[in-house]
A and B are shown apart, each in its own frame.
Chain A
């Protein structure tokens, strides 16, 4: 029994982690006032680039780096379009996703039948062998630890540092920030690039850890869920984590249910994680005051300081 529970928990962590990366990255981007709807596109290009580089070089960590760079590169395109040329953020983000899906299919043509051994779980002598705590805490894969670190770092950055305060302030009122003398566009660029790097990492996790192979459109809408997570988590990192693991958990449970051969069409069951995540988050985030306090007021609006 404990075996099964531990198995489900581990699988939940694994299924939730791509969302953790992607949603935390998008959260930072949106906190600066920029809405990047291209998460899905950045994520899938990250996935295919990571997989291709890992397959060619045989080095999984080179693959992870390639994913991060690919995600950042996609974000840079978005940044140039929306921050330098002031084009519409919604349109540019949608275009980025469509572009990313196409581009990844093209890059991935030669890799659809390649098999890789994914990034292995770590093993710490003694610690990893403790019953229950060992497998749950001390023998996960390195990227999973990385996602925990990212969460802690982002939460600390946003709520404990002046730079984080400034990022939130810019998301609320770029006009005020400019009159105080802050370089709004440059800071928004950094936030957008960070979001891209994190989406790339999410792609790496999918293609090099979670299911170490390349399948076209393998992100399966997770980028969109990440976007929804950010909104329904009212832009708070802790709630993003809850939402991500909730999604992961329901995904795993519905797999098990399908495995038992319950008489529900599998398509309906596959819907469940998406539905459950959104319903739960909507329910916990109905407090309009909390939304007003945490939502970046300038989100999605082009801003160009005139000097």
Chain B
């Protein structure tokens, strides 16, 4: 407890909260106090149990043991409606919104009051003006950007005049500028006396915003600290038990030949709620990592399925994608892999690996080219050797090659998938969100692996929402917004502010685009 809060009664107190899932103890004997007007951080890695704890406070999940005290009184919160009645509001990590309904309808479902959409729309207008969170109540949610969706969730909470607001990883989907605005709103709420539980694994944010921090690791509280007094590295030690691992990154040496060339790629999205790709130009050379930044939903999915070959282009557009100089737009995923392209998708389970099958069976998924199959028969030995090498070389921690893919943690499965692709000696690697949901240690290992691939001459294209990650590993960065690509810039020549601005769609127009494709065309011939 620090000076400001001494003697006050906590608004919320948790005592000995424990939640046990069949496979894991998500929360173990967790104690926590939040005071009025306090912005309290809950800091921890992926899987530390933060979301579980918040859902317990909000009454979505029932704890197995422990007490919840609200303003000194013990309460049993068994349903979110009860939490809302106490004055708890929650903005979920995975939004709890309905895409085909309007903003007002969505909000109506999350507030406990008589159903009157007209009146509600007026109040939404008032609250959003008061806190500077512009929202049109009549818009359908699917047409909103991620930042706007978060606004819907926040306004939904604010309408109830909450006394405790829970924000679960709110900034993972925002541009740096939007984060600043969010912080202003949160500070203002705190000044008005609202308590805020702020969940994050981003150390700098917490140091900037929060008055107090509870650090969690493996379901337990490992420390209580005042983040303003701590350094990022001391917080990291509390969070993961050691220093934050950093990648060794050197500036890319001479760029090699163009391995992947995208020129004039246009495509309408199959999904009516999707984003159309408009005139995409990009080249990736051997020996460099190009990063595509952007807020999710700006065309990343559409671009990735076009590049991976999951949805090949029309025959007449086949020149829009060239792999190592060969027109590949019309080719399917298998044919593109034959040309030396590999793809690590965002969804590890289901798209990158078959969840119930063993790792050794999963190597066959993309590795069958390397002589693992003869006359339609599987050569078990070869498959197993390959899988074993993959586990060894990439430090995959698991129960061996017979372990089911779904039994691995996110980080280990990702290392396995990246390893499987790398061992096939590709020329181009495309990775989508390579460290999404991966613990800090594994994330650093994966980033290091990507850098080493680059050093060995591979062309690497990374699509990520994490700006820090892109700045850590990329040689060049480009932004995707509304289905368009910004100009490409050397990572060293730009900064997060500028990229953040570009992410909101404000980037210099086509006139200033690097006309690199003309050069590239010449060199690939």
Contact = CB atoms under 8 A, between A and B. Distances in A.
Interface of A: 161-162, 165-166, 168-169, 172-173, 175-182, 288-289, 292-294, 297, 307
B108 A179 contact: no
Given A169-B109, A172-B99, A179-B92, 20 more contacts: A165-B101, A165-B109, A172-B98, A173-B96, A173-B97, A173-B98, A175-B94, A176-B97, A176-B98, A177-B96, A178-B60, A179-B60, A179-B80, A179-B96, A180-B96, A181-B60, A181-B79, A181-B81, A289-B272, A297-B100
Q: Give the secondary structure class of B's interface.
A: loop
A54 to B, nearest CB: 41
A180 B109 contact: yes
B96 A176 contact: yes
B55 to A, nearest CB: 8
B234 to A, nearest CB: 34
Interface string B268-312: 000111000000000000000000000000000000000000000
A28 to B, nearest CB: 17
A172 B60 contact: no
A181 B95 contact: no
A182 B96 CA distance: 12
B93 to A, nearest CB: 10
B406 interface: no
Interface of B: 55, 59-62, 79-81, 92, 94-101, 105, 108-110, 115, 140, 271-273
B108 A288 contact: no
| Residue among B55, B61, B109 with most chain A CB within 10 A | B109
Contacts of B96: 173, 175-177, 179-180
Contacts of B99: 172-173, 297
Interface of A is mostly: helix
B60 A292 contact: no
A307 B20 CA distance: 10
Contacts of B94: 175
Contacts of B98: 168-169, 172-173, 176
A169 B60 CA distance: 18
Contacts of A181: 59-60, 79-81
B60 A307 contact: yes
B109 A166 contact: yes
Contacts of A179: 55, 60, 80, 92, 96
A182 B106 CA distance: 13
B104 to A, nearest CB: 10
Contacts of B140: 293
A294 B142 CA distance: 13
24 contacts: A162-B109, A162-B115, A165-B115, A168-B98, A168-B101, A172-B100, A172-B101, A173-B97, A173-B98, A176-B97, A176-B98, A177-B109, A178-B60, A179-B60, A179-B92, A179-B96, A180-B96, A180-B110, A181-B79, A182-B109, A288-B272, A289-B272, A292-B273, A307-B62
Contacts of A172: 98-101
A240 to B, nearest CB: 18
Nearest to B97: A176
Contacts of B101: 165, 168-169, 172
